[in-house]
Every structure is written in structure tokens, then in C-alpha cells.
């Protein structure tokens, strides 16, 4: 579903991502981990089409993100680490706006259920300025899920959520993957990655350090066997 080939992104003289390649198949959850400045967010933003790769190619559902951007983006949902909302649209209006962008014909039917699921029903008519950080995050999640995306990109998805919200978010990720969505999850919470992800991509200074299931990584590095993901991560990144 998501195919990244030799992705390189350079900002001025800084090489944020270098020669990165990986695939994410439908139903798979890929955990993107790495220290600060490893290039995780740049990778996600390149897949979404927010930034253009300096070189390399990215496709989503067979659509090239650069040349067939609109078709690729229709399949995607990106949930950034900070909820970016329009100050002057209410919760419900955000969902209607998103519905129109993604041509969700049955938005009227989906709205109440989605609001209910994310505990936003009572906030449907309020502006983002009146929402807590967690509520805003929930609204972004609701907007992302409204069009049943085939590929989900999540950047630190648990930030700001309460324990119930965290549990629900984890369930949502697993449920979407079970339904065939390809998920890429970037997080510093290694226990979340361990719990939810089927494969892990460890990055450092824009490069791939390791990619595969925990077992595959351990096969390549038998000296790390018996250690936790956190210890594996720290060893591989030299932190």
C-alpha cells in the first residue's frame, strides 16, 4: 500500500532523510522510531506530500505521491503530533469540511457515530479555542478516520489523550489494520510500538538503522536477544 523507494530529503545543507526505502502492506502496522532529528516526521510528511522528496519515489495504493498527488492523498489520513485546526470552524463543521474534501457522501450518517465514539457529541457546536488539547487531538483523529483511509500515518498519536483515549486509540489502530489499512506510526513510546506494531523501522540521522519484526532484527543482531525494545533501540542508535 505504501512504498518508499530511495527517499532522500535535503533542507538547505541538512540531510534530513537519506536513501530510505521500505514498504507497508495492507494490514501492517509499521513503527517508526528514532531519536530526535532522526527524520521520522520528514518521512511521514514526504509520504503525505507536504514536503517534496529531493530524490526517490513514494507511492500510496499504486499512485505516485508527486505525480498523482490527489489520488494518493484520497487514500491517506495523516494525524500530526500537534492538532492543526481552523479556529473558526466548529467541531461538526470540521468534519463536514473534511467530508467534502474527501467526497464522503454519507457524512450525515457517519457524523453522529464518530462524534459519539470519540466523545465529542457534546462539543459538536464549539470552536477549537474552547477545546482541550486532548479534545483537539480527538477531533483530528475523527477527521482522519471519516473517509475510511486505506493508509494511516500517525505522528505521536497518543500525545494529549487521557488513559481512556489512549486505549481507544490503540484499539482504533489495530482495528483499522485488521480492516486492511496500512499504518505507519511514529512514536517515542517504545511500549506503544511494541504493543501495536507488526514491524519496526529504526532511524538515526536520516538513515535506516534496522527494519523488520523484532524477531528479524534479533536474527540480524543475535547479541541483542533477550533485551527489551528500549535496550535494542538504545544499542542500535548508540544513545
Partner 1 sequence: MIGAALYLMSRSLVNATRRRLARLRQPKYLVGFAVGCLYVYWLVFRRSGGSALGPASSAAGEVTAVGVLAGLVVLNWIFGSAETPFNFSLAETDFLFTAPLTRRQVIDFKLLRSQLPLLISAALSALFLSGGHLGGLRPSRVIGLWLVYGTLQLHYGGMALLRASLAQHGVTGLRRRLGTLLLLGAVLGLAGWSLERQLPDLVAAFQRDAAQGYGALAHTLHSGLLGVLVWPLAALVAPLRAAGTPAFASSLPTALLVFAAHYVWVVRSTLAFEEGAVEHAAKVARRLEALRQGRSPSRAIRAPRSTRAIRPRLAATGAPGVAILWKNTIGATRDAGPRWLLLASVLVAGSAIVLSGGPMGVGGRDVLAVMLLALGAVALLLGPLSVRFDLRQDLEMLDVLKSYPLSGREVVSGEIAAPVALLGGVVWSCLIGVFVATVARRGDGLPPLGDRVALLLASLPATVAILGVLVVLQNAAVLLFPAWMSVGQGRAVGLEATGQRILMTAGSLVALVVTLVPAILVGGVGLAAAAAAGVRQGWAVALGTVSGSAVVALELGLAVHFLGRVFDRMEPGAGVGPGA
Contacts with partner 1 by CB under 8 A lie at: 11, 45, 48-52, 69-71, 73-74, 76, 78, 80, 82-90, 93, 96-97, 99-108, 125-130, 133, 136
Angle at 81 between CA 103 and CA 83, to 5 degrees: 55
Cβ closest to partner 1, residue 11 vs residue 175: 11
Phi/psi zone of residue 6: left (φ > 0), alpha (ψ -120 to 50 degrees), beta?
left
For residue 80, give the C-alpha cell. 500530526
Residue 139 Cβ vs partner 1, minimum distance, rounded to whole Å: 13
Give the Cα separation of 4 and 30 in Å (integer): 13
Residue 17 Cβ vs partner 1, minimum distance, rounded to whole Å: 14
Cβ closest to partner 1, residue 48 vs residue 232: 48
Residue 85 Cβ vs partner 1, minimum distance, rounded to whole Å: 8
Cβ closest to partner 1, residue 70 vs residue 239: 70
Residues 6+ apart with CB under 8 A from 215: none
Cβ closest to partner 1, residue 90 vs residue 121: 90
Cβ closest to partner 1, residue 22 vs residue 102: 102
Residue 189 Cβ vs partner 1, minimum distance, rounded to whole Å: 19
Residue 110 Cβ vs partner 1, minimum distance, rounded to whole Å: 10
Residue 19 Cβ vs partner 1, minimum distance, rounded to whole Å: 20
Give the Cα separation of 209 and 7 in Å (integer): 15
Residue 65, CA atoms < 13 Å, CB-side half-sphere: 27
Residue 196 Cβ vs partner 1, minimum distance, rounded to whole Å: 22
Cβ closest to partner 1, residue 99 vs residue 206: 99
Cβ closest to partner 1, residue 82 vs residue 195: 82
Amino acid at each position: 500500500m505504501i512504498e518508499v523507494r530511495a527517499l532522500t530529503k535535503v533542507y538547505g545543507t541538512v540531510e534530513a532523510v537519506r536513501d530510505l526505502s521500505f514498504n507497508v502492506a495492507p494490514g501492517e502496522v509499521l513503527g517508526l522510531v528514532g531519536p530526535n532529528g532522526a527524520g521520522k516526521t520528514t518521512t511521514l510528511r514526504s509520504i503525505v506530500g507536504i514536503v517534496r522528496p529531493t530524490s526517490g519515489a513514494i507511492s500510496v495504493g499504486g499512485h505516485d505521491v508527486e505525480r498523482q498527488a490527489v489520488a494518493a492523498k484520497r487514500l491517506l489520513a495523516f494525524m500530526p503530533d500537534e492538532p492543526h485546526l481552523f479556529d473558526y470552524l466548529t467541531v461538526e463543521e470540521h468534519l463536514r469540511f473534511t467530508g467534502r474534501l474527501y467526497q464522503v457522501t454519507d457524512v450525515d450518517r457517519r457524523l453522529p457515530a464518530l462524534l459519539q465514539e470519540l466523545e465529542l457529541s457534546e462539543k459538536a457546536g464549539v470552536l477549537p479555542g474552547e477545546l482541550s488539547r486532548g479534545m483537539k487531538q480527538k477531533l483530528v483523529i475523527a477527521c482522519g478516520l471519516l473517509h475510511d483511509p486505506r493508509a494511516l500515518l500517525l505522528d505521536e498519536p497518543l500525545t494529549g489523550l487521557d488513559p481512556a483515549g489512549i486505549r481507544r486509540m490503540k484499539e482504533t489502530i489495530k482495528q483499522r489494520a485488521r480492516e486492511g489499512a496500512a499504518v505507519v506510526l511514529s512514536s517515542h513510546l517504545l511500549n506503544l510500538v511494541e504493543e501495536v506494531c507488526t514491524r519496526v523501522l529504526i532511524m538515526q540521522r536520516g538513515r535506516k538503522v534496522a527494519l523488520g519484526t523484532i524477531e528479524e532484527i534479533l536474527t540480524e543482531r543475535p547479541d541483542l536477544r533477550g533485551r527489551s525494545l528500549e535496550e535494542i533501540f538504545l544499542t542500535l542508535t548508540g544513545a
